[in-house]
Amino acid sequence: MAFITDEELISKLVEATREGRLRWTKTEVTDRFASRYAGKWSLTIDMSQEPDERFASYWLALSNAEGEEILKIYPSQDTPLHALFDLARRRALKIDEALEDLLKEIEPHEQIKDEDIPF
């Protein structure tokens, strides 16, 4: 089995999330999202920001079926965890669905004229 780098893993998770192959759900903790797969593994991605901090901090954790954390990844220059967090958040909170509904609501509707009716 090949060694998988953090960068490769994050890249694959971003791709799978974009394509809808990885489903994220919100958790009880604000700004934390989870995904379960293969019936025995779970991913958790989190963004936290202390009141006195300027920047947010991210982490991604992989846990087994017993809930034991077996891997934790923190951001580096090569691992864009913020991109994965943003995508997971969009999917879990159904942001794109909300925006589609908004655009349908505010886009002008074409008026049907009498001459458009065939009878």
What's the pLDDT tens digit per position in 58-81?
999 999 999 999 999 998 877 789
What's the pLDDT tens digit per position in 37-59?
999 999 999 998 776 667 788 99
- Cα 85 to chain centroid distance, Å, stands at 5
Q: Are 19 and 92 in contact (CB under 8 A)?
A: no
**Domain residues of the chain, as ranges?**
6-109
**Cα-only R_g, the chain:** 20
What is the model's pLDDT at position 2? 78
